Chain A
């Protein structure tokens, strides 16, 4: 980090000793996973900088925003409509929870066998070592799974939580419920920030968030080329950073990177030789710093061309129409978010269709379904994915893992064998 942020961390109540240990663990992991990659685009420099400053500069920006009376909203899910928060002058931060931390503390309030992401967020909160979490004035929860839904009740003991009800089906009555949830959310955000959301402020925030999505979609489109101009690991990193960086600056930096990638594509250059096996990963979100499986895949000679993940396409595919009245805009937001193919829905056929479409568009040689342990929605839905992919002759490898590293060698064997099989 460029500066000493200890005074700031202390002022927001971090446990400095535990936080030091976390920061010591992160840079070596990042160095070995990221900095040694071949042919990295120069435009990755900004994102490396953001990671280097992960608990520094951005936290300082959040603190400045708060000092001016602004509110910070934390979220754990791509269903939380960032547009609404921004339209009321708030900042929306995706909280990461991608590392095993504070398990002992978390297990005081949670069962031992539970999704590692849920355990991680509880661990982060109870040990007070995430400056993002400690900067949040409120956390926006949702009902995408039972574990999170119930854990939010507990989290509410430590930080205010507003839970949005995500329907489990996509019928008209479900859409209507979700629209009313969006309207309730607007009222809550207005009251919490003290700022009224206007047609123009909402339109403006929709435009800004759409621009972020378009930049990410542009990056995705460039990855349909062979050779691929950017690695899957770098793309995932950018998609992870998308959730907490300053929206307009981030959009500009992704577009700069895309300009560079477009030149690479024109010149036929890439991060791998043409013909390297092309993999799509699908499944549960991979939060910072959970790069385990992508790192194994790309160290084994393959390249990831798309992430059908919440830290991936589900976050930025489909934009929100920018026209109409305040109510029209809110309806459009509701519609856009309900289009997300999360495994919390039944049935979720659109996800299968999307995977088939992605496999074609991205010329994928195989799909790796990667699910966190104890994530029933995705672990069970993997069977539907397998069925559909089999019918279409698309090779699939299913992986169930958590944030531990003890299965890395086994995963490596399975992934390498999968690549040998599809070559």
Chain B
């Protein structure tokens, strides 16, 4: 049986098509300014009659347009991670404007979850803004370079606006931008640890969402948890995969 999941997020739209449990097609595009149209185009290649389940911020708009069902990103992440790592106990998902932590039960069920309140502190957006403030051409370059930063520099604010001015003032003090970068990544990890505490973290942890591709966040997180952190090959596709699996 063919089923499809589409995750319409704040930064990217992901599509996963499953034939029974095998991924037979996937796609990842920028959300842009016409998310529903972009999503509709993505699924237009599918055979008519394929059940499309939407997740992400655009899920309801997608359901009103082309999708048959919706699930929340929370449930989709839980299902996707359990499919990839049946032994995983906890999920950390950091996307464009959200940070979520999910405690997993049997068969990909959600035991408990936490999500950041309203602001985008410590999410992909935060890192994007900071990359710009420190003069990096991309958030990838920012993440790579920050790995070489030394500990000891502190960013005390988690607010994107305040942290940016804090970073800029550290630059003016002559501090190496790699050290500031490291401090900013540490701030993201601190935020994630706070949420993990709240659901009662249990290893093993799977880390998903666009920020899971940032080597500095992954490495700092593993250090802090003193555990291995599982990052799937395509961390941005996990919610779409979970949506395709949703029954």
Interface 1/0 per residue, B52-85 and A, CB below 8 Å? 0000010000000000000111110000000000
- The 8 Å CB contact of A409, one of B57, B71, B74, is B57
Question: Which residues of chain A have C-beta atoms less than 8 A from B112's C-beta?
Answer: 421
Query: Which residues of B96-143 are within 8 A (CB) of A?
Result: 98, 109-113, 115-118
The answer to whether A400 touches B117 (Cβ under 8 A) is yes
- The 8 Å CB contact of A414, one of B57, B109, B115, is B115
The answer to whether B75 touches A417 (Cβ under 8 A) is yes
The answer to whether A407 touches B74 (Cβ under 8 A) is no
Given known contacts A413-B72, A413-B73, is B110 in contact with A407 (CB within 8 Å)? Answer: no
State how many residues of chain A have any CB contact under 8 Å with chain B.
Answer: 12
Question: Which residues of chain A have C-beta atoms less than 8 A from B117's C-beta?
Answer: 400, 407, 410
The answer to whether A416 touches B72 (Cβ under 8 A) is yes
Question: Which residues of chain A have C-beta atoms less than 8 A from B98's C-beta?
Answer: 410, 413
Asked whether any CB of chain B lies closer than 8 Å to the CB of A420, the reply is yes
CB distance from B95 to the nearest CB of A (A): 11
In the bound complex, CA of A410 to CA of B10 (Å) = 12
Q: Taking CB as reference atom, which chain A residue is nearest B74?
A: A417
Interface 1/0 per residue, A382-423 and B, CB below 8 Å? 000000000000000000110000110110011011001100
Question: Which residues of chain B have C-beta atoms less than 8 A from A400's C-beta?
Answer: 117
State how many residues of chain B have any CB contact under 8 Å with chain A.
Answer: 16
In the bound complex, CA of A212 to CA of B237 (Å) = 56
CB distance from B36 to the nearest CB of A (A): 15
In the bound complex, CA of A406 to CA of B116 (Å) = 14
In the bound complex, CA of A413 to CA of B99 (Å) = 12
In the bound complex, CA of A401 to CA of B119 (Å) = 12
Question: Which residues of chain A have C-beta atoms less than 8 A from B111's C-beta?
Answer: 421
In the bound complex, CA of A414 to CA of B113 (Å) = 9
Interface SS, A side: helix
Given known contacts A409-B57, A410-B98, is B118 in contact with A417 (CB within 8 Å)? Answer: no
The answer to whether B115 touches A410 (Cβ under 8 A) is yes
The answer to whether B57 touches A417 (Cβ under 8 A) is no
A-B pair count, CB < 8 Å, reads 40
The answer to whether B115 touches A421 (Cβ under 8 A) is no
In the bound complex, CA of A416 to CA of B110 (Å) = 12
In the bound complex, CA of A417 to CA of B115 (Å) = 11
In the bound complex, CA of A409 to CA of B74 (Å) = 14
The answer to whether B118 touches A406 (Cβ under 8 A) is yes
Q: Taking CB as reference atom, which chain A residue is nearest B98?
A: A410
CB distance from A336 to the nearest CB of B (A): 37
Question: Which residues of chain A have C-beta atoms less than 8 A from B75's C-beta?
Answer: 417, 420-421
Question: Which residues of chain A have C-beta atoms less than 8 A from B115's C-beta?
Answer: 410, 413-414, 417
CB distance from B145 to the nearest CB of A (A): 31
In the bound complex, CA of A420 to CA of B110 (Å) = 8
Question: Which residues of chain B have C-beta atoms less than 8 A from A421's C-beta?
Answer: 74-75, 109-113
Question: Which residues of chain B have C-beta atoms less than 8 A from A416's C-beta?
Answer: 72
In the bound complex, CA of A253 to CA of B98 (Å) = 45
CB distance from B180 to the nearest CB of A (A): 28
In the bound complex, CA of A99 to CA of B117 (Å) = 20
The answer to whether B74 touches A420 (Cβ under 8 A) is yes
Q: Taking CB as reference atom, which chain B residue is nearest A390?
A: B112
In the bound complex, CA of A414 to CA of B112 (Å) = 11
A-B contacts, 26 of them at CB < 8 A, read A400-B117, A401-B118, A407-B117, A407-B118, A409-B57, A410-B116, A413-B73, A413-B74, A413-B115, A416-B72, A417-B72, A417-B73, A417-B74, A417-B110, A420-B71, A420-B72, A420-B74, A420-B75, A420-B110, A421-B74, A421-B75, A421-B109, A421-B110, A421-B111, A421-B112, A421-B113
A interface list, Cβ under 8 A from B? 400-401, 406-407, 409-410, 413-414, 416-417, 420-421
10 interchain residue pairs of minimum CB distance:
A417-B74, A407-B118, A417-B72, A416-B72, A421-B110, A420-B75, A413-B72, A414-B115, A409-B57, A417-B113
